[in-house]
Structures are given as structure tokens and as C-alpha cells.
């Protein structure tokens, strides 16, 4: 059987107002290689970011890349021979740069090409997006990791109508007998139960609703939809990546289960404004378009100096800055082709963070437009 190697980009999700909806692929990469096991059993080989946690990451029953390969072959209903998986990680884990999405997408695409070259059936791009979303629980990172560029994504609701007044969550989430086989496998159920904290109800009457995880199992994800936006040119981008990690589960746990209708409307409008500003290159709208009322203020309590760091970026000349995914990485947006400004913003981010004893690195990044690709 062949050897397949793929490159998969980091991603920054949310981009301010587009909570669990928008994602942007960045030119920081992981590489995933799959080949038939040489020892007949299969190995996981790690290099780069996260490789110091080798004991945990090489457990084949828990490694998310291995589970992604198995998930694909279950969906394809094809036999899976023992395989070696090599993970070369340039994306730092638990920093809000889509490391888990990259691992899953990279493994899915590599395994899909491996199946195709071996004469087996292969999945379409649309199917890969859904499979990755089933594993990740939401599409905002996996979709741009797969497609590249700026991506709008969602989970289709056609098979699961919205709740009506008086309908309980337990009614909504009862198992359905007519689900496709791949949507009922244990990997899917285990991985999608963590999405409840991202839901919100409109018309809430209390801003600081209790933030707790809803243990109610969510319906299996049957279809995820994603569209790469046609943006001809992007602003300059700088990321500040702290040395310390922040688990996505912790960042989701601080979010309230209910939000004000006005705040939801605000984010909907600003998400639309952000997309319009990027599509038409009206970057002067970005200082307003990047604003958020749903998640960043709640997560700021986990990140010392968060608001001071954002102010420092703006004062140094950036249009604004946003939390990258669940954090703690910060993404600053600025005019292009200005090396001095880029250096000023990098310095401002690092200095403001250091004042709050947060240390890390700031670097210029660009948008990856290719997504996950097979390399030679």
C-alpha cells in the first residue's frame, strides 16, 4: 500500500463576533503521514509541538488522529489494515490555533487519499467536513483547516427541527432509528457530547446566567455545511502565542448557558459586517466589525491582561485584535505592507502581556488559501 503525507494549517476560529461560525486558515502547519504498518501492529511517531507528551499521545485507543482514521474507514465500510501514523506538529497545542482540528483533518485527508490510492472507496470533501465535525463537535476549525481561507460553517438543522416552547432537551435528543450508520458509531457519540456549552437561548432575562456544562447528549451530527468566502486580499495578521496552555473545555466552561437577545443580535450584525468588510476590502470597518459580546469577555477572566493586550494592539496601529478560538492566542488585524507597523504591533502585544506576567511570542502570519493538501 502507498505512503501518503498531507499538510494541514492552523486555524483561528470566531474572529471576534463569529462565535462557532467563522474560521480562518493560517500558515502554521502540521504534517500527517500514513502508511501500512511495518510491524503488522502500527505505530504513532511524534515530532515537534506536543511531542514531549509522547506517552499519552501514542496511546492508539485515545490518539485523536488514530480515531479519525478509524472513523473514516467505518464510514467508508472498508477494511482497515494496521497502519503507521507520523505526526509532525508545528501548531502548538491548547493555544486556540485549532491543533485538535488539524490533527483530525490531517488524519482524515491522509487516510482518505490512502484509501483511494489503495483502490478503496473514498469520501468527498463535503463528507470529510461532516466526518471531521462529528469528531470535533463543531465545524469552525475543521472547515477552514480542510478548505483553507476564510470559511463560514454550520451544522445542518434539517433533520433536527428547532425546539418549540415546552419541548425539553431530553425530547429533542432522543436517539433516532433512521440515522446513517456512520453517525451512530461510538466515536461520534463520545466526541459530540461536548457541544452543549456552545448553545444559547434568546430572550434571556439575566446576563450572568450560571455557566455549567449541560450533560444532555446531543443528536449525532448528520451534516455540516461550509463555504469558503471569496476574499481577494486579507489585512495583515499578527498572532501573539502565549507560552502557557488553555484547555478548550475550560474556556467553554466559563460561558453562560443563556444570553441577552440584544447581544445575540449585536454579534449577528457584526459577523455580517465583518464578512462584508473583508469581501469589499473596507478595512476601515474592522475596528467596529471585530467587536464581540458573546464569548470574549467571559473568557478574559482566564487570561490575565486580556483587555490591556487588545488595547495595546490598537494603540500601536492595529485595526483591532480578537481572541483566537478559545484562546489564549490573540490575533491582531492591521494594514498590509508596513513592516514598521508590524514590528510595533508585535512589540506592543509582547510588552502588554509581559506587564501581566504573560510571556510568549508574536509573529506575522498570512492566510493559507489551500487548506489540507497532499504533499509530494
Backbone angle region of 325, left / alpha / beta, with phi > 0 → left and psi within -120 to 50 → alpha: left
Cα–Cα distances in angstroms (integers) from residue 271 to residues 16, 76, 95, 147, in the given order:
8, 36, 23, 20
Q: How far is CA 76 from the centre of its chain?
A: 24
pTM: 0.82
The span from the CA of 123 to the CA of 72, in Å, is 8
pLDDT of residue 53: 67
Alpha-helix residue ranges (DSSP H) falling in the chain = 54-57, 64-76, 99-117, 125-136, 142-147, 169-172, 186-192, 248-253, 261-280, 286-289, 296-299, 306-315, 339-355
The span from the CA of 9 to the CA of 370, in Å, is 9
In a domain, 278, yes or no: yes
pLDDT at 173 over 60: no
Average pLDDT over residues 50-76: 82
Where in the sequence is the domain holding 337, given as residue range(s)? 230-365
**pLDDT digits 0-9 by tens, 81-129:** 999 999 999 999 989 999 999 999 999 999 999 999 999 999 999 999 9
**pLDDT digits 0-9 by tens, 211-268:** 333 444 556 788 999 999 999 899 999 999 999 887 778 877 878 788 899 999 999 9
Please answer whether residues 337 and 113 qualify as being in contact, where contact means their C-beta atoms are separated by less than 8 angstroms.
Answer: no
pLDDT at 151 over 70: yes
pLDDT of residue 201: 23
The span from the CA of 220 to the CA of 292, in Å, is 29
- Total count of domains within the chain: 1
In a domain, 266, yes or no: yes
Average pLDDT over residues 7-33: 97
pLDDT at 178 over 70: no
Q: Is the peptide bond before 239 cis (omega within 30 degrees of 0)?
A: no
CATH number at residue 329: 3.30.70.890
- How many Cα neighbours within 13 Å face the side chain of 32? 31
Rg from Cα positions in the chain: 21
| Structure confidence at residue 141 as a pLDDT band (50, 70, 90) | very high
Handedness of CA 119, 124, 125, 131 (dihedral sign): negative
In a domain, 259, yes or no: yes
pLDDT at 182 over 80: no
In a domain, 282, yes or no: yes
**pLDDT digits 0-9 by tens, 263-295:** 999 999 999 999 999 999 999 999 999 999 888
In a domain, 51, yes or no: no
In a domain, 112, yes or no: no
pLDDT of residue 58: 65
In a domain, 272, yes or no: yes
Pairing of strands 236-242, 330-334: antiparallel
pLDDT of residue 45: 87
pLDDT of residue 60: 75
**Residue 148, SS3 per DSSP:** coil
Amino acid at each position: 500500500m502507498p505512503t501518503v503525507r498531507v499538510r494541514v494549517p492552523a486555524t483561528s476560529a470566531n474572529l471576534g463576533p463569529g462565535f462557532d461560525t467563522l474560521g480562518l486558515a493560517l500558515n502554521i502547519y502540521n504534517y500527517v503521514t500514513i502508511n501500512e504498518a511495518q510491524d503488522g501492529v502500527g505505530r504513532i511517531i511524534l515530532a515537534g509541538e506536543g511531542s514531549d507528551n509522547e506517552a499519552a499521545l501514542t496511546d492508539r485507543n485515545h490518539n485523536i488522529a488514530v480515531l479519525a482514521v478509524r472513523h473514516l474507514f467505518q464510514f467508508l465500510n472498508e477494511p482497515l489494515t494496521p497502519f503507521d501514523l507520523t505526526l509532525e506538529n508545528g501548531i502548538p497545542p491548547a493555544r486556540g490555533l485549532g491543533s485538535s482540528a488539524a490533527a483530525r483533518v490531517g488524519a482524515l485527508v491522509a487516510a482518505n487519499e490512502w484509501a483511494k490510492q489503495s483502490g478503496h472507496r473514498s469520501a468527498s470533501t463535503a463528507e470529510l467536513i461532516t466526518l471531521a465535525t462529528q469528531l470535533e463537535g463543531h465545524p469552525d476549525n475543521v472547515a477552514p483547516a480542510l478548505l483553507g481561507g476564510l470559511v463560514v460553517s454550520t451544522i445542518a438543522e434539517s433533520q433536527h427541527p428547532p425546539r418549540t416552547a415546552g419541548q425539553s432537551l431530553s425530547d429533542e435528543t432522543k436517539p433516532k432509528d433512521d440515522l446513517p450508520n456512520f453517525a451512530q458509531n461510538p466515536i461520534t457519540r463520545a466526541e459530540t457530547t461536548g457541544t452543549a456549552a456552545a448553545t444559547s437561548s434568546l430572550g434571556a432575562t439575566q446576563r450572568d446566567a450560571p455557566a455549567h456544562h449541560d450533560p444532555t447528549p446531543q443528536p449525532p451530527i448528520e451534516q455540516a455545511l461550509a463555504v469558503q468566502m471569496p476574499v481577494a486580499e486579507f489585512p495583515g495578521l499578527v498572532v501573539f502565542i502565549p507560552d502557557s496552555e488553555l484547555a478548550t473545555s475550560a474556556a467553554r466552561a466559563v460561558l453562560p448557558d443563556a444570553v441577552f437577545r440584544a447581544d445575540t443580535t449585536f454579534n449577528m450584525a457584526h459577523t455580517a459586517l465583518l464578512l462584508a468588510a473583508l469581501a469589499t476590502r473596507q478595512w476601515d470597518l474592522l475596528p467596529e466589525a471585530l467587536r464581540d459580546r458573546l464569548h470574549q469577555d467571559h473568557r478574559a477572566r482566564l487570561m490575565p491582561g486580556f483587555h490591556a493586550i487588545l488595547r495595546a494592539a490598537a494603540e500601536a496601529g492595529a485595526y483591532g485584535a480578537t481572541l483566537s478560538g478559545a484562546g489564549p492566542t490573540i490575533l491582531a488585524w492591521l494594514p498590509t505592507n508596513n513592516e514598521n507597523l508590524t514590528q510595533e504591533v508585535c512589540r506592543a502585544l509582547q510588552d502588554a502581556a509581559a506587564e501581566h506576567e504573560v510571556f510568549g511570542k508574536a509573529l506575522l502570519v498570512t492566510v493559507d488559501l489551500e487548506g489540507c493538501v497532499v504533499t509530494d
